Amino acid sequence: MARRDLNIPLSLLSVSSLLRTIIYCLSLCCLSDGGLVSAQSPTKTEKTAPPLFEFTFTDDMKREQTLEAAQILQAQDGGVVMLTRDGRLLTATPEQLKSKRPLDREFTPLDASELEKQLKAEFGDDFTVTQTKHFTICSQAGKRYSQWCGYLFERLYMVLHNYWDDKAHPLHEPEVPLIAVIFKDRANFEQYASQLLGDGAAATHGFYSIQSNRMVLYDLTAAPNERPAYTDADILFKLRKSPFNVATVIHECTHQIAFNVGLHTRFADNPLWLTEGMATYFETPDLKSKTGWRTVGKPNPWRLRQFQDYARSRRPADSLQTLISSDQRFQEAESLLDTYAEAWAFTYFLIKTKRRLYEEYLHLIAARQPLIWSTPAARLKDFQSVFGEDLNQLDQQFLRYMRQISR
């Protein structure tokens, strides 16, 4: 747990509304938040477990809640941002906060049996809760499908770990549970997701929430009037009909892992091109293999095709600059696929040709303080401090490289 005792001049109302604008990643759509305060230089954080408190507060539904959590941030007006032992991020304004009692213990995540009890109480008895080495799977789908997902998640965890862990910047183990909620079919998923995402639920096959730290998915092999998949071969046979949907699962799981092992920092200002580029870099599945995996580092065929088309016909001269300096383009539905494709292509180019600088930039961003939002100018400056001042030259190199891998 990175302890952060921040006492920054944020109105808790702003923090609270920021967190209510829940930051989700969808396969097609990312919602972000508006600017809060300007950038401050990152400071070194201590790697110790923070103290645990018992908070009593009334939530937005006017229900009184008492729970154990660490305090991530205290605003000057006395409001707080809390990290619960199951990994959620909650806020209470001074008016909502009734009491805060220090417990004579350090923050620890819920253990497996506490977590199982809590998830069953939340989702109901038709969900089973199983643990893999790193993940807690709360599933309404059949046992076989849940196992298959657990295997896929663990394999991705290992792939990401092997790909990014190094002596200078070792990855850490997750500090709160990695929870995957799997609904038995699309209808149940959509009903749940629409309460959180509204109309966005209809366009997605899964999402990761930075606020709850959970992935929410559904059984992709389930179809109306079809029998469930009984074997792994059966699951793969059914999934081959929808490879893009499997990519969603991997995409969301990449986000969850990256936000929990030190590649990104939850609640910090993460440029979306960076987090989405990371997720799209790993998302390509290979349904010939048992896990639906493809060797890391091969071009992502869907994103490549989309990027080629974008670069040929409608890419403006300042495309790279707008991608790097703000998240605005990720909020424009009509150009979203182009933006994702460019985030993938640019990430692919940087990892393949400037990996050391890419890692330097990744660590620079991961070291940022939570809830401190950068201006577009500050984002650009951060980028240029690592990759150099000349964006035009970089853009030309990028386009040349992408033309060459397209052949």
Q: How far is the CB of 272 from Zn ion (least distance, A)?
A: 8
Binding-site size, Zn ion (CB under 5 A) = 3
| Per-residue tokens: 391 | 């964006």
Residue nearest to Zn ion (CB): 25
If the CB atoms of residues 138 and 279 are measured against Zn ion, the closer one turns out to be 279
The interface region with Zn ion, picked from 20-28, 81-89, 287-295, 342-350 by CB under 5 A, is 20-28
The interface region with Zn ion, picked from 22-30, 182-190, 313-321, 360-368 by CB under 5 A, is 22-30
Q: How far is the CB of 215 from Zn ion (least distance, A)?
A: 11
If the CB atoms of residues 27 and 71 are measured against Zn ion, the closer one turns out to be 27
With CB under 5 A as the contact rule, the residue among 12, 15, 19, 25 that binds Zn ion is: 25
Contact predicate 374/365, CB 8 Å: no
If the CB atoms of residues 253 and 279 are measured against Zn ion, the closer one turns out to be 279
If the CB atoms of residues 73 and 160 are measured against Zn ion, the closer one turns out to be 160
- Give me the DSSP letters along 201-270: GGG-S-EEETTT-EEEEE-TT--TT-PPP-SHHHHHHHHTT-HHHHHHHHHHHHHHHHTTTTSS-TTB--
Q: How far is the CB of 296 from Zn ion (least distance, A)?
A: 17
If the CB atoms of residues 273 and 361 are measured against Zn ion, the closer one turns out to be 273
Q: How far is the CB of 293 from Zn ion (least distance, A)?
A: 18
Residue owning tokens 């709160």: 176
Q: Is 131 exposed, middle or buried (0-12, 13-18, 19+ CB in 10 A)?
A: middle
Contact predicate 27/204, CB 8 Å: yes
- Give me the DSSP letters along 255-314: HHHHTTTTSS-TTB---HHHHHHHHHHH----TTSTTS---TTS--HHHHHHHHHHHHHT
Q: Cα(137)–Cα(152) distance, rounded to whole angstroms?
A: 12
If the CB atoms of residues 281 and 293 are measured against Zn ion, the closer one turns out to be 281
Q: How far is the CB of 279 from Zn ion (least distance, A)?
A: 4
Residue 393 contacts by C-beta under 8 Å, 6 or more apart in sequence? none
Q: Does 323 bind Zn ion (CB under 5 A)?
A: no
Q: Among residue numbers 243 through 282, which ones bind Zn ion (CB under 5 A)?
A: 276, 279
Q: Cα(399)–Cα(404) distance, rounded to whole angstroms?
A: 9
The interface region with Zn ion, picked from 24-32, 125-133, 168-176, 375-383 by CB under 5 A, is 24-32
In the complex, which residues of this chain contact Zn ion (CB under 5 A)?
25, 276, 279
